Amino acid sequence: MEKIKVAVLVSGGGTNLGALIAAERDGIIRSGTISLVISNKVGAYALERARVAGIEAITVTKAECGSQEAFENRLIEELRSHGIELIVLAGFMSILSERFTSLFRDRIINVHPSLIPSFCGKGFYGLRVHEAALEYGVKVTGATVHYVNEIPDGGKIIMQKSVEIREGDTPEILQKRVMQEAEWIILPEACEKVSKILLGKRGMKD
């Protein structure tokens, strides 16, 4: 069966990457295949996860490239040379420019650890999102998978899943529950959904 080639962009431990790899193995992701993992941080554990799974893994850093433009040019070069059709941002801690996102319009998806439009946009990443949810006193949070455009967390929503906030939650406890009960479920499902759409578009071109 024809499949969409997927690249996963990471910066850290790669727990969401792990969920994607498991989902492909278990047949949840059927229309796409993870062909490349790119980290913008040297030594990120996500690279090891990829290698163990037999997926090509490379590092591209802004420091090594010298500028945002050169960094993005190198990413584009790697994505094109590997024939990548879908980009999944899974804990990728680098904002991509409008030039980059418009080049891959409707082909980049991201997972964010809140129910957008709450606790999202510039400055809302990692534990900060969960700290804000607890400070505000919301009773329900969750995760969102959305298309990526030039506005941080501003692209069209693909999927959301809610997670209950419990008495005594700390940002760390909440972060873990949102990952387990939402992110690791909807990111693979959204990857399959978008891969299927892209396969359909590819078929129309043929």
Active-site residues, by number, are 112
Q: For residues 189 and 185, what is the distance between their CA atoms, to the nearest angstrom?
A: 7
Q: How many CB atoms are closer than 10 A to CB 49?
A: 21
Bridge pairing between strands 4-10 and 32-39? parallel
What is the side-by-side strand order in the sheet with 4-10?
A: 56-59, 32-39, 4-10, 86-89, 108-112, 140-147, 157-164
The single-letter code of the amino acid at 36 is L
